[in-house]
Structure formats: C-alpha cells, structure tokens
C-alpha cells in the first residue's frame, strides 16, 4: 500500500530522470548487466533543476568510463522533496543517494535520529587529503545543518550567497540623478519612493512576494542588525523576535508610500523576476541564483543592473548574514550499495566536476582550492555575489511544532499593516516559546544554548543541548 502511495505521489509531481544505461534500475531494485559485466545502478534523487544539463553530461561521462561498473541514474523531484524522501524510506523505495542543500528545509536532527541517512565520517577520513583540499570538509561542519553531534551526513561543495539588492541603475539615475546606492534601510525606502514617483505608474521602486525573496531580504537585514537567525536567542535558548520591530516598520513604509508594484505580493517569484527584467521594478532582492536568472532565464537587455550589499539599519554590520551550504549528497540508510554510493559522491565532490560546475555559474566556491581553480572570466555575473567577510552559516534552531501561523506569515502581515507590530511580536514570542518548552519536555527536541555565541561568527560558539 505504501509503495502505491509513493508511486501516485511521484506521478503527481514533475519528475525528470536521466540514465546513460538502458533499462537502468533504481538503487535498491538490483543491478543491470552488460557486456562489460555486472553493473551496479546507484539511484540519485535531487530537487535541483537549474544545473541539470551540466550534471547529466557529467553523469554520462562517468557511466561510460568509470572502472567500478557503476551506473548513475538521477531523478529530479520538483515538489515536496523532503517529504518524498521520508515516505520513500518508509516504503522501501528510497534512492541510494539524496541531494541535499542547506536551503531545502531538511531537519537534519530528525534525519539523524530516525537513521534516515548514514554518517560519512569514515568515508571522509578514508578519502584523504585531496577530498579535504577540494571540499574543506573538516571546516564546513555545521551543527543541525549537515552534522549532528559530530557525525557528518553530507558535505557541501558550493555555497549560495546571502541576499543582495539588485538595482535597475537607469531608474535610479532618473529618480536621483546619481548612481549612489543606499547603505541603510531608511535610505532604500526613500529611494524606492523616489523611483515610484518618477515612474508615474509606469514603473515602481520595489517589488516583493510574500515567500522566499521577501523572507531573504527581510531576515537578512534583521540578521545584519544583530537579530538572531530564526528569531532564536542562542545565548538564552529561547525565541525572541523583538529585534524585528524596526525592520517591520521600515518595510511597512514601502507599502504606505505605495512604492511596491501593485499586485506583486500575490505573485510568484518568476513573475516578479520577469517584471524586473522588463524594467518595471527599480529594486529587487535575492541571493546569488539571480546571476543566472538575469542572464539566462529572464535576460536583462535594455538597462544596466547592479548588485549591492543589503542595507543595514544604521550603516553598520552587527551580525552575520546567512549563507547556504549547497550541493551535497547523503547516503540513505536503506541502500545496499553504500561503498559505490560514496564513489558517486566523490565524483560530485571532485575538482574536475566542481570546476566546470562553478564556471557555469551554478554556485560560488566554498574552498580555497576551488576559488583558485575557477576561471572567473567564465562565471558571468555570479562574481557580483562574491562572499563578504560577514557572511556565515548559523546553527539550526530547534525544529518545533507551533500552533497557529508561523513567524513569516505573522511578520508579513505586520509589514502589510494588517496587525500591530508589537502585538505580532508578543504573539510570536509567546507561542514559539510555549512550543519549545513543550517539545523539550516531551523529548521531541533539545534546547540549544550557545553561551559564547557571537552574532558575527555564529558557527564558532560552543553548543550545548539541554533536556529542560
């Protein structure tokens, strides 16, 4: 019955598969044979589509030439990826390898507790100096993100930058007569108003959606103001959203000033990207994936666009801006071919593979070795998103079960002026801490405390997990 459910779900989402061997089987379904002898098929699941052409071409090369008779079969799942992995594991239809990135919302503590995936420490140790040099795996161990209690479950190979603001410089010049870009949030709000006034209904200063781009801009500015990631107070082991108040109030002005493209909050990300590319928006915010978006998916042809750092509240950076470790792979615990699966991970983590991947502009290098290896003349506009010294990875906050609306919906409604900001923050503090206390008491999660937490270096502190 469970297998039937999984099959139905797979049919209901867009799934793209690739294999260079005819009649390739799933990783747990056995192995195919050929004139060259028995072959082991390793099933790989991923939710990445943007890099599909490159990855598939590298898989084809590997399948035709590797000495271990391994055939990679990759399936791209574009909807409900994390739940699909969990259900597939429960039903015995899981892949051998699951592609994982810091941005897809996996609760790594839960994955570890339920033995969803295998720890890779022994494989990493045996892989030796070259693997470490290319990936800097020993330096990229992030509690609750790719590791739990010192056990590493996936190794990031590239990184996605924190959020940047992207400006239509033609509209900036028309509105201000200058190319100077704002360094504070109040200055950005003022610029958006000037662009809107100049546009007279033909174009607007700002656009957002209520999903990812808004969250990235909003939370990024809050982080740089010293508000902890996830609204979590790491020092005291509780939630505290009070630092969001001034950011909410400034973003609200964008709406009261009528500086936001009408209808944009109800639109999808791609719709707003297209509007920016068509010259209808002066300011747009998102992370380094926009480099490819505005050169390939929605190429900007008729105006100059510039990438700038997020504005802060007062021009000073008081906290780290979140970056996302990306493009790693975990070995599912149900695999019958763990050693061969590791060889596939070694392919995806190799210098040759990553050099081509990075030069295609699919991500930013995450090690000194790859930074030196990449020919930046080939990477296009992604170099505009090069990492800043204040960007870092935050430890994952406890994954709790709250009643009612989550922080994003509540803070969004306050930005829209639909509820009082003080009431909204009090509500969040009450409900999130009630849920945290309840989940800790029941044993579902542990309370994370970092007494020496430094908001500018969030991954450097000493982590403690408490049962109360």
Q: Are residues 199 and 287 in the same domain?
A: yes
pLDDT at 341: 98
Q: 336 and 373: one domain?
A: yes
pLDDT band at 14 (very low <50, low <70, confident <90, very high): very low
Is the pLDDT at 270 greater than 50? The verdict is yes
**342 against 460, higher pLDDT:** 342
Residues 270, 401 share a domain: yes
Q: State which of 371, 387, 403 marks the end of a domain.
A: 387
* C-alpha span between 283 and 301 (Å, rounded): 17
Check whether residue 289 and residue 415 sit in a common domain. Answer: yes
Pair 283, 170 in one domain: yes
Q: Is the pTM of this model over 0.85?
A: no
The better pLDDT of the pair 295, 172 is held by: 172
CATH classification of the domain holding 114: 3.40.190.10
Long-range Cβ contacts of 289-292 (<8 Å, 24+ apart): 289/50, 289/160, 290/164, 290/166, 290/385, 291/361, 291/380, 291/381, 291/382, 291/384, 291/385, 292/50, 292/361, 292/362, 292/380, 292/382
What local confidence, expressed as pLDDT, does residue 196 receive? 98
| 41-70: average pLDDT | 94
Does the CA dihedral 53-295-80-115 come out positive or negative?
Answer: positive
Rounded mean pLDDT of 255-261? 96
pLDDT of the residue at 63: 97
Q: Is the pLDDT of residue 75 over 50?
A: yes
Q: What is the pLDDT of residues 190-220, one digit of tens each?
A: 999 999 999 999 999 999 886 666 778 888 9
CA distance 322 to 387: 11
For residue 292, is pLDDT > 70?
yes
Nearest CA among 366, 337, 335, 332 for reference residue 349:
366
Query: What is the arithmetic mean of pLDDT over 28-53?
Result: 74
97 within 8 A of 388, measured Cβ to Cβ: no
Tell me the per-residue pLDDT of 416-444, one tens digit each, with 9 for 90 and over.
999 999 999 999 999 999 999 999 999 99
Residue of 326, 325, 367, 339 lying closest to 122 (CA atoms): 339
Give the CA-trace dihedral at 159, 356, 22, 25, to 10 degrees: -20
pLDDT greater than 50 at residue 181: yes
DSSP string for 45-98: EE---TTHHHHHHHHHHHHHH-TT-EEEEEEEE-SSHHHHHHHHHHHT---SEE
Query: Which of 336, 354, 387 is the endpoint of a domain?
Result: 387
Q: Is the dihedral of CA 91, 73, 82, 365 positive or negative?
A: positive
Closest to 264 measured CA to CA, from 171, 196, 197: 196
Is the domain of 59 the same as that of 153? Answer: yes
Q: 365-391, pLDDT tens digit by residue? A: 999 999 999 998 888 899 899 999 999
- Structural domain including 355 reads 2-160+324-387
pLDDT at 50 over 60: yes
Same domain, 18 and 50: yes
Best CA proximity match to 241, nearest among 253, 231, 251: 231
pLDDT band at 34 (very low <50, low <70, confident <90, very high): very low
User: Are residues 152 and 176 both part of a single domain?
Assistant: no
- At which of 368, 387, 406 does a domain end? 387
Q: How far apart are CA 433 and CA 90, in angstroms?
A: 31
- Residue 213: the pLDDT is 62
Helix, strand, or coil here: 33? strand
Residues 349 and 401 in one domain: no
Give dist(CA 461, CA 451) in Å, integer: 8
Under DSSP, is residue 392 helix (H, G, I), strand (E, B) or coil?
strand
Confidence at 405, pLDDT banded by 50, 70, 90 = very high
The mean pLDDT value of the chain amounts to: 89
Assigned token pair, 241: 């959203």
Q: Do both 103 and 231 map to the same domain?
A: no
- Report which of residues 155 and 5 the model is more confident about: 155
For 15, 174, 351, 402, the CA distances from 205, given in Å and listed in that order, are 38, 12, 42, 36
Confidence of residue 31 (pLDDT cuts 50, 70, 90): very low
Q: Choose among 421, 340, 445: nearest CA to 44.
A: 340
Q: How far apart are CA 275 and CA 259, in angstroms?
A: 15
Residue-level pLDDT at 28: 44
* Same domain, residue pair 14 and 125: yes
pLDDT digits (tens, 9 = 90+) for 311-333: 999 999 999 999 999 999 999 99
């Amino acid at each position: 019955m469970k297998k039937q459910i999984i099959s139905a779900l797979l049919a209901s989402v867009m799934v793209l598969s690739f294999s260079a061997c005819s009649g390739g089987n799933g990783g747990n379904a056995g192995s195919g044979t050929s004139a060259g002898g028995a072959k082991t098929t390793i099933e790989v699941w991923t939710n990445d589509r943007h890099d599909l052409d490159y990855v598939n071409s590298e898989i084809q090369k590997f399948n035709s030439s590797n000495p271990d008779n391994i055939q990679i079969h990759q399936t791209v799942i574009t909807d409900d990826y994390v739940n699909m992995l969990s259900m597939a594991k429960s039903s015995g239809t899981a892949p051998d390898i699951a592609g994982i990135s810091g941005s897809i919302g996996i609760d790594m503590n839960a994955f570890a507790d339920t033995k969803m995936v295998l720890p890779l420490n022994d494989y990493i140790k045996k892989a030796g100096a070259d693997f470490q040099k290319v990936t800097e795996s020993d330096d990229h161990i992030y509690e609750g993100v790719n590791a739990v209690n010192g056990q590493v479950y996936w190794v990031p190979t590239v990184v996605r930058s924190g959020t940047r603001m992207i400006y239509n410089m033609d509209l900036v010049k028309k509105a201000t007569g200058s190319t100077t870009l704002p360094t504070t949030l109040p200055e950005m709000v003022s610029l958006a108003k000037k662009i809107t006034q100049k546009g007279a209904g033909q174009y607007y200063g700002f656009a957002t959606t209520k999903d990812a781009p808004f969250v990235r801009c909003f939370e990024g500015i809050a982080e740089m103001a010293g508000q902890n990631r996830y609204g979590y107070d790491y020092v005291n082991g509780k939630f505290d959203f009070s630092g969001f108040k001034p950011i909410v109030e400034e973003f609200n002005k964008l709406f009261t000033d009528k500086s936001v493209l009408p209808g944009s909050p109800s639109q999808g990300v791609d719709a707003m990207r297209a509007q920016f590319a068509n010259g209808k928006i002066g300011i747009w915010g998102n992370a380094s994936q926009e480099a490819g978006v505005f050169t390939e998916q929605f190429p900007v042809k008729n105006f100059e666009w510039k990438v700038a750092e997020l504005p802060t509240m007062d021009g000073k950076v008081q906290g780290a801006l979140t970056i996302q470790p990306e493009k790693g792979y975990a070995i599912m615990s149900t695999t019958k071919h763990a050693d061969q699966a590791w060889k596939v991970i070694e392919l995806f983590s190799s210098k040759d593979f990553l050099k081509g991947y990075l030069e295609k502009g699919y991500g930013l290098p995450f090690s000194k070795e790859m930074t030196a290896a990449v020919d930046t003349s080939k990477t296009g506009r992604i170099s505009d998103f090069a990492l800043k010294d204040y960007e870092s990875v935050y430890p994952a906050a406890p994954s709790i079960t709250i009643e009612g609306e989550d922080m994003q919906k509540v803070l969004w409604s306050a930005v829209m002026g639909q509820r009082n900001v003080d009431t909204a923050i009090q509500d969040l503090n009450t409900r999130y801490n009630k849920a945290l206390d309840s989940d800790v008491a029941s044993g579902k999660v542990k309370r994370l405390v970092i007494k020496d937490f430094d908001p500018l270096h969030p991954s450097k502190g000493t982590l403690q997990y408490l049962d109360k």
